[in-house]
């Protein structure tokens, strides 16, 4: 299995993702430069967190026009696995690989803390090592994580079971207090219709080793490796 | 020729920044305010050789495809000759 981790000017979670894939998941990983259209035959692409192109104009607004994203779009349309984390989720929404948009947090503050998310769908390549309803503790760190979409899109996401993670209490209850940023329906992560693209605001790569205080995020990488083995 | 592009959140989208500014203005004693919405403003200087219809088409495309996220934002623009 070969993972490609994209580097935009301003990415800052690229090395964390690379480390997790190589050192923890024991898979091969390579960095992909934003100006290259060559995905180097990778089996899965990670669009990492950070501030691509300084988040100028809007988060992800400039990144979506980069050469590498053209290839990622084609890769995703052909069923390729794409995981967007935090800024990566914002970029995937801007690129229309996922519906909706991530707006400024309702509290107007950058929020950086561990949160709990409930796995709403374990039948995806990103969550197959989880159980439906399982609560994972994974940190967030963002200013624009407030997920928004129109009513018909939300209805469609629900109908097609594409809401993959929702902010919850440690016991798994979906409450307004558990929502750190005002996201519609407590949405923390969604998938594409084909389930091969996932965007999530929490950082699983920051919760993949005991040394980091939490390993529950590793289930996302474990799921990916498992699903790639059977693809 | 200059184009002025105004980008704002759609009416249906909550604007927490505008709301906070509105609250602050009220606290400061400004009277008669109903609401504040925050947006973005772009000043684009265009090549002199462009005709008005060409400029209009170009700015429209820039506003629609780049400056605005259609999920949450809308735009309008004007020209200064």
The token duo for A83 is 């995981």
Average pLDDT estimate for A94-102: 97
- With a cut of 0.90, is the ipTM above it? no
The continuous run of DSSP H or E covering B9 comes out as strand B2-9
What was the pLDDT predicted at B48?
Answer: 86
CA B81 to chain centre: 19
pLDDT over 80 (residue A231): no
Whole-angstrom distance, CA of residue A224 vs CA of residue A218: 10
Measured between alpha carbons, how far apart are the two ends of chain B, in Å? 5
CA distances from A40 to A110, A185, B3 (A): 35, 38, 42
What was the pLDDT predicted at A136?
Answer: 98
**Catalytic residue check, A13:** no
pLDDT digits (tens, 9 = 90+) for B20-66: 999 999 999 999 999 999 999 999 999 888 999 999 999 999 999 99
- Nearest by CB to B16, from A57, A65, A106: name it: A106
Collapse the DSSP code of A125 into the 3-class scheme (helix H, G, I; strand E, B; otherwise coil) and give the result: coil
Measured between alpha carbons, how far apart are the two ends of chain A, in Å? 11
The three-point CA angle A17-A21-A27 to 5° equals 155
Which of A88, A5, A89, A9 has the alpha carbon at shortest distance from A56?
A: A9
- Residues A186/A79, Cβ–Cβ less than 8 Å: no
Average pLDDT estimate for A110-116: 97
Collapse the DSSP code of B27 into the 3-class scheme (helix H, G, I; strand E, B; otherwise coil) and give the result: helix
Which of A13, A86, A93, A149 does the annotation list as catalytic?
A86
Domains and CATH numbers, chain B: 2-80 (3.30.1280.10)
Domain A2-229 has CATH 3.40.50.880: yes
pLDDT over 80 (residue B81): no
pLDDT over 90 (residue A230): no
Summary mean pLDDT of chain B: 95
**Catalytic residue check, A205:** yes
Assess A180–B contact: CB distance below 8 Å, yes or no.
no
Q: Which of B7, B16, B23 to mutate to test the interface with A (most CBs of A within 10 A)?
A: B16
Label the pairing between strands A81-85 and A28-33.
Answer: unpaired
Kindly provide the residue ranges of all beta strands, DSSP E only, lying in chain A, ordered along the sequence. Answer: 2-7, 28-33, 44-47, 81-85, 101-103, 111-119, 135-142, 146-148, 163-168, 187-191, 197-200
Verify whether the Cβ–Cβ distance B17 to A104 is below 8 Å.
yes
The reply to whether the predicted model has a pTM over 0.90 is yes
Whole-angstrom distance, CA of residue A171 vs CA of residue A167: 11
pLDDT digits (tens, 9 = 90+) for A117-136: 999 999 999 999 999 999 99
pLDDT digits (tens, 9 = 90+) for A152-175: 999 999 999 999 999 999 999 999
Torsion of CA A109, A112, A116, A122, to 10 degrees: 100
Whole-angstrom distance, CA of residue A108 vs CA of residue A87: 17
Domain ranges of chain A: 2-229
Phi, psi for residue A80 in degrees, rounded to 5: -65, 150
Residue with tokens 């760190």: A141
**Catalytic residue check, A214:** no
Which of A120, A130, A203, A216 does the annotation list as catalytic?
A203
What are the chain B neighbours of A103 within 8 Å (beta carbons)?
A: 13, 72
Whole-angstrom distance, CA of residue B21 vs CA of residue A5: 40
pLDDT digits (tens, 9 = 90+) for A7-53: 999 999 999 999 999 999 999 999 999 999 999 999 999 999 999 99
**How many C-beta neighbours within 10 Å does residue B53 have?**
8
Summary mean pLDDT of chain A: 97
Distance in Å, alpha carbon of A195 to nearest chain B alpha carbon: 21
Whole-angstrom distance, CA of residue B31 vs CA of residue B14: 23
């Amino acid at each position: 299995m070969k993972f490609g981790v994209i580097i935009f000017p301003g990415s800052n979670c690229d090395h964390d993702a690379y480390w997790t894939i190589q050192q923890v998941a024991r898979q091969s990983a390579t960095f992909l430069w934003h100006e290259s259209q060559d995905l180097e035959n990778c089996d899965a692409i990670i669009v990492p967190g950070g501030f691509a192109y300084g988040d100028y104009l809007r988060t992800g607004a400039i990144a979506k026009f980069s050469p590498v994203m053209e290839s990622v779009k084609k890769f995703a349309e052909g069923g390729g696995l794409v995981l967007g984390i935090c800024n990566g989720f914002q970029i995937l929404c801007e690129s229309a690989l996922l519906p909706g948009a991530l707006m400024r947090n309702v509290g107007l503050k950058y929020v950086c803390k561990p949160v709990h998310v409930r796995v709403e769908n374990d039948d995806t390549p990103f969550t197959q090592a989880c159980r439906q309803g399982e609560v994972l503790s994974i940190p967030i760190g963002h200013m624009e994580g407030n997920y928004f979409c129109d009513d018909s899109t939300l209805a469609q996401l629900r109908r097609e079971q594409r809401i993959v993670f929702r902010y919850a209490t440690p016991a798994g209850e979906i409450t307004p207090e558990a929502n750190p940023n005002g996201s519609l329906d407590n949405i923390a992560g969604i998938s594409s219709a084909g389930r091969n693209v996932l965007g999530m605001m929490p950082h699983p790569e920051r919760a993949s080793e005991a040394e980091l205080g939490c390993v529950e995020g590793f289930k996302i990488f474990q799921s990916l490796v498992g699903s790639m083995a059977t693809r | 020729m200059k184009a002025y592009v105004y980008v704002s959140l759609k009416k249906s989208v909550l604007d927490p920044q505008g709301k906070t500014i509105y609250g602050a203005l009220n606290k400061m004693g400004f009277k008669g305010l109903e609401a504040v919405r925050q947006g973005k403003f772009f000043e684009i200087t265009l090549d002199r050789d462009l005709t008005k219809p060409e400029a209009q088409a170009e700015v429209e495309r820039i506003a629609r495809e780049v400056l605005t996220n259609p999920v949450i934002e809308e735009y309008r623009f004007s020209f200064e000759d």
